[in-house]
Structure 1
Amino acid sequence: MRILDTFTPTRTVQTVTEIGRRAELPSSTAHRIVNELVNAGLLERDEDRRVRIGMRLWELSTRSSHALRLRQAAMPFMERVQSRVREHTQLAILEQDEALFLERLSSPASGSNVTRVAGRLPLHASSSGLVLLAFGLPDLQERVLSSGLTQLTRATLSDPHAVRSKLAEVRQLGHAIAPGYIEEVSTGIAVPVRDETGRVIAALSVVLPRDAESDFAIVELHRAATDIARSLGFRS
């Protein structure tokens, strides 16, 4: 796991020496374990002997995956949002106190966006994260609010009292608007997605230019979230 954790959305190919250093393993141990993982298909080597995640690992991770089921249910409605709003459309879940993004749809004309598929963002600083936090368990909220809130831009809420107030607003409105929280030129808007029991399991979001009108996007997101929930078996 320490070896696999050295791979990130922006660090997809590494030498064994780099892997060993980042995993804090002796060189001989890193070479031995990497070779075992390559032989099992969980890692692969390229023509320069550098190492990347193998297709076997992707195959195993997608079998009976709850995240894959959610993504498959959401995709048709995400495509509808993206085609109508014509900006980045994203699906995120809660994972280890962060927002983990399962999918992102974009067009060539879409604005700035730092989000990547399989990338993560802080819960307090992203519209998707605020939704997941607002509808999450109280112990999650307390853990996040007491952990030290990083300010990514001048607009990011980093004071716990301000974040609590924002979470109450999200629960009241049923959506989160985060103007300039991640990038000063963009506004994130997110709504909750519920499973068959009515529990919030994901956040569906769009990223608009900072000065863009948001009402139409909010309507489209709520409509899509309702359709996703119904496809998962939720009956309100």
Structure 2
Amino acid sequence: MANSPSGESMIARVVRLLSVFPKYNRPLSVREIAEYASLPVTTTHRLLKELEAEDLVTRMTDGGWQHGTRLWEIASRNSPVQSLRDAALPPMEDLVAGLRVHVSLAILDRHEVLYLERITPDDYTVNITSVAGRLPAHATSAGLVLHAFGSQEGQRLFLSRGHARFTETTPTEIEQLKEKLNRARLDGFVASLGTIIPESTGISVPIFGPKKLAIAALTVIVPVGDEDLDLIVPQMKITARAIQRRTGVVPEMNSRVSRQTRPSPLG
């Protein structure tokens, strides 16, 4: 694959171009795409025409561009992410109906949390997660619980990175993060109060795969001060076990889940 004068491959430029669209909920002009992707306008126009020929992007009647349907089709076929989402949706809907809370499903992708699904009741809770959106792992309950029940190599890399502070309660120091991971393994969940949005608390439990490592996180978002852990956490664990069962994992085989029955105080 030909490289640019800067040494960047064609694939890298195409990925950067396609990654621009999810950040803006509208079709974009060639100049906007070029600016956001840090590409020359002529290069951007040429790549868009080639991608349009394969229906990976679509030009709208007003001249703007957006993702094409074939891109969604390719991404959806035989996708483990789509299978996980399909398995999780019915139990998540039951949880929302029972507790009237915001619920999301997320996985780790490198050093970020990638959200696969989000179900929101009609209330006032501040929730900035969006489907296919990303948030930094250290500032979210989902990211912390996924690392706590993830691989040792993943934990090592997580703790070796620098971490930005978003609010007064965002954990950024290595010792803080180590303590939160250890606490998560003992409690079986993470509750993060105002660590990325001051008004909201994220509560997450792991969803385990066949190797007894967390493959996803189930998260509930509530207003700070409304964290009824004795009510919420047991229901979340029931939902997580239901999702595991629907993915083919027998929950009872995972001792780390079965031992965690009693929520601990917030911290």
| TM-score range for the pair, normalised by the shorter chain length | over 0.9
Decide whether the 8 Å contact of 1:128 with 1:190 is kept in 2: yes
Decide whether the 8 Å contact of 2:138 with 2:163 is kept in 1: yes
TM-score calculated relative to the size of structure 1? 0.95
Counterpart residue number, 1:185: 199
Give the C-alpha shift of residue 20 in structure 1.
2.0
Partner of residue 113 from structure 2, selected from 95, 99, 110: 99
1:67-106 map, 5 Å: 67-106=81-120
Does residue 58 of the first structure (1) align with residue 50 of the second (2)? no
Equivalent-residue separation in structure 1 for 2:66 and 2:60 (angstroms):
8
Answer with 1 or 2: which has the greater Rg.
2
How many residues align structurally?
A: 236
- 5+ residue gaps, structure 2, are 1-14, 254-267
Counterpart residue number, 1:134: 148
Equivalent-residue separation in structure 1 for 2:209 and 2:152 (angstroms):
19
- 5+ residue gaps, structure 1, are none
Partner of residue 40 from structure 2, selected from 9, 18, 26: 26
Give the C-alpha shift of residue 47 in structure 1.
2.2
Partner of residue 156 from structure 1, selected from 151, 163, 170: 170
Deviation by residue 1:99-151 (Cα, 9 ceiling, x = unmatched): 10000001111511111111111111101111111112222222222221111
Does residue 233 of the first structure (1) align with residue 248 of the second (2)? yes
Across the aligned residues of Structure 1 and Structure 2, the Cα RMSD in angstroms comes to 1.4
- Ranked by relative contact order (alpha carbons within 8 Å, sequence separation 6 or more), the top structure is 1
Give the C-alpha shift of residue 214 in structure 1.
2.4
Decide whether the 8 Å contact of 2:150 with 2:213 is kept in 1: no
Decide whether the 8 Å contact of 2:17 with 2:37 is kept in 1: yes
Deviation by residue 1:70-99 (Cα, 9 ceiling, x = unmatched): 001111100011111111100000112211
Does residue 167 of the first structure (1) align with residue 181 of the second (2)? yes
Decide whether the 8 Å contact of 2:151 with 2:213 is kept in 1: no
Identity score, percent: 38
Counterpart residue number, 1:218: 233
Counterpart residue number, 2:132: 118
Give the C-alpha shift of residue 12 in structure 1.
4.5
